[in-house]
Amino acid sequence: MRTLERCDVLVVGAGLAGTQAALAAARQGARVRLASAGPLFSGSSFFPGTWGLGLVGPHDEDDAEDLVRTICHVGAGMADEALVRTLVHGIPGAVRELAAQGCELARPTAGSEEERDYVPCFDHATRDWHGIRRDGYVHAVGRLLREEGVAHTAGLELLDVLEASGRVCGGVFLDRATGGLAHAPCGSMVLATGGLGGLFDRTLSGPDVGGCVHAIVLEHGGRLVNVEFQQIMCGLLAPVSGVVFNERTFRYARLRALDGTRLAMDENLLRMRSAHGPMTARLPDLAVDLAIAAAGAAGVSVELDLPSPLPDFVSTYARWAEQALGPGWTHGLRICHFAHASNGGIAIDAHARCLGAPRGLFACGELTGGMHGADRIGGLSSANALVFGKIAGSEAAGSTAPAPLAAPALPRWARDHAWRAADADGTAHGAAPDVDLLRRTMGEHCLVRRDEPGLTRAIDTLLGIRATAQERRLALLATSALAAARAMLERRESRGAHYRADHPRERGEYGAPIFVGMRDGSPHASIARVPEATPRPPRRTTSSGSLGA
């Protein structure tokens, strides 16, 4: 096992949240290392199948209060108001910070600011909208990271967190280049590895967004919240697959089954559906998504009758689509549902500390939950990454600890050599069939239509995969998938992004978030308010193995 040079702050993940966390920590004088499975500037933030990074915030203080209320309303009782306020009141500063970093921010074309397409998904009014230009962000923030001396190591996938005396002191990674392990000692750690989209066979996220880190945090005493609220978006199956479909064009669309039969669809519902990307059980236009899902895995064909001139927002998408798909991009379109972003994740507090986990462990970005609820307003995922990325990096820099006197225990799975030579995406050769089965199971039973029999079958399959897993990454994927499936089973109602075909309406007794923790070595989901974090006793180990000083 190779050992990297010790750093003060280890940031895992190199998307928007991770790069902002690294920059914030370095600017406080910390020695920072970024470790990522993909390249620098990767993850969902830089996934090429999505056409832009929208960012919304309040116009002023009055609008900030309205935005807080709206997030809580759209979240249907599932959002933590303290985290919501931290998010909303941090956005104006985050926008100014981006500009100061030299990032190019797009604005609506003059005169189009109040067009309905600039009302964010699920919102009721326009907000202060910016578009983050990816190329400009890469150039500006990349330069700043180099100037601040931030080290970056690509091709590292986190497989475990190391503890000593109740504190984080390092991470153990799969080194995809060698197939071996790497040890990265640190004084504190920020997790920014993205959501759970990679657990599904159809996903609008990259191969470096796997979902393993949720399981790692659970194993170390942390909790998950709201993980049943997985955003489900329509994406293209043809002319290319795995590219997001612009929901704003639904109002110009005719949907047909593959045999050419036009789907009986109220045009008012299509207009309503064009106002938001993810499906939701809160609104009548759920009927559109159920009709698309009923067509099966082959999806439905889409005929677009676009107006001329196009509205400003749709015009931006059309220009991107023409470059990405070609000038005839409106022909031969076929869509179905894909897993997209996660509305829930690791439970954190307003300082980005992982609740219940060892001291010195922080998380930010799509990996986390609580600041969103059952549905999430469009443009707030980027805002979350920026605001809590900076908080996590700053807090981690102020929470570093010296190297432990005693070497941390080597994890049992590492002593047992429970990892194998891996493919390019980190999957061990022998585990690939089980990973495929896991993702098919999640896609079949945990995507659009969920019900008790299907979720029960999914859980049984995942338990079987987990029980027989002989390599670490597969066991982590199965644990994270189990956590999500058990939360979906526990919520016997439909609310926001969570639709239960056997419980199609919202139920008052489920008006609180579901938290997932480990019980008897397995994820357990229950409706409960998470208690305030209390000091955690040191984690016991029985290992005789050691990573050395």
Note the Cα 451 to chain centre separation in Å.
24
Q: What percent of the chain has pLDDT over 90?
A: 78
Whether residue 242 is predicted with pLDDT greater than 90 in this model: the reply is no
CB 528 within 8 A of CB 512: yes
Say what the pLDDT of residue 426 is: 57
Tell me phi and psi for residue 544, to 5 degrees.
-100, -5
pLDDT in tens, 413-450: 988 877 664 555 556 656 889 999 999 999 999 999 99
What distances in angstroms separate CA 409 from CA 78, 161, 403, 406, 445, one per listed residue? 38, 11, 14, 9, 38
Quote the CA–CA distance of 429 and 441 in Å, as a whole number: 20
If 0-12 CB within 10 Å is exposed, 13-18 middle and 19+ buried, where does residue 425 land? middle
Quote the CA–CA distance of 547 and 549 in Å, as a whole number: 7
Q: Give the residue among 369, 342, 313 at the shortest CA–CA distance from 204.
A: 342
Token pair 């239960």: residue: 500
| Across 32-36, 236-240, 386-390, least confident range | 236-240
CB 381 within 8 A of CB 121: no
- Band (pLDDT 50/70/90 cuts) for residue 533 is very low
DSSP string, 288-327: HHHHHHHT-TT-EEEEE---SSPPHHHHHHHHHHHHHH-T
CB 372 within 8 A of CB 343: yes
If 0-12 CB within 10 Å is exposed, 13-18 middle and 19+ buried, where does residue 327 land? exposed
Quote the CA–CA distance of 507 and 148 in Å, as a whole number: 51
Between residues 538 and 491, which one has the greater pLDDT? 491
Whether residue 475 is predicted with pLDDT greater than 70 in this model: the reply is yes
| Across 9-23, 49-63, 204-218, 312-326, least confident range | 312-326
Whether residue 250 is predicted with pLDDT greater than 80 in this model: the reply is yes
- Is residue 383 within a helix (H) or strand (E), and if so which, with residue range? helix 380-397
Say what the pLDDT of residue 73 is: 98
If 0-12 CB within 10 Å is exposed, 13-18 middle and 19+ buried, where does residue 284 land? exposed
Whether residue 1 is predicted with pLDDT greater than 50 in this model: the reply is yes
Measured N-to-C along each axis, helices 432-445 and 452-468 cross at an angle, to the nearest 10 degrees, of: 170
Token pair 């220009």: residue: 319
DSSP conformation class of 197: G
**Would the pTM count as exceeding 0.75?**
yes
Q: What is the β-pairing status of strands 7-12 and 333-342?
A: unpaired
DSSP conformation class of 169: E
pLDDT in tens, 276-299: 999 999 999 999 999 999 999 999
CB 179 within 8 A of CB 155: no
Token pair 């357990």: residue: 524
- Dihedral of CA atoms 429, 175, 192, 141 in degrees, nearest 10, equals -130
- The token pair at 398 is 């102020």
Q: Give the residue among 366, 300, 268 at the shortest CA–CA distance from 53.
A: 366
- Band (pLDDT 50/70/90 cuts) for residue 549 is very low
Say what the pLDDT of residue 425 is: 58
Whether residue 544 is predicted with pLDDT greater than 50 in this model: the reply is no
Whether residue 269 is predicted with pLDDT greater than 50 in this model: the reply is yes
Between residues 49 and 446, which one has the greater pLDDT? 446
CA angle in degrees (0–180, nearest 5) for 159-386-483: 40
Note the Cα 92 to chain centre separation in Å.
22
Say what the pLDDT of residue 110 is: 82
Whether residue 482 is predicted with pLDDT greater than 90 in this model: the reply is yes
- The token pair at 426 is 């980190």
pLDDT in tens, 65-90: 999 999 999 999 999 999 999 999 99
Q: What percent of the chain has pLDDT over 70?
A: 94
CA 397, 401, 403, 408 torsion-angle sign: negative
What integer best gives the mean pLDDT of the chain?
A: 92
DSSP conformation class of 357: S
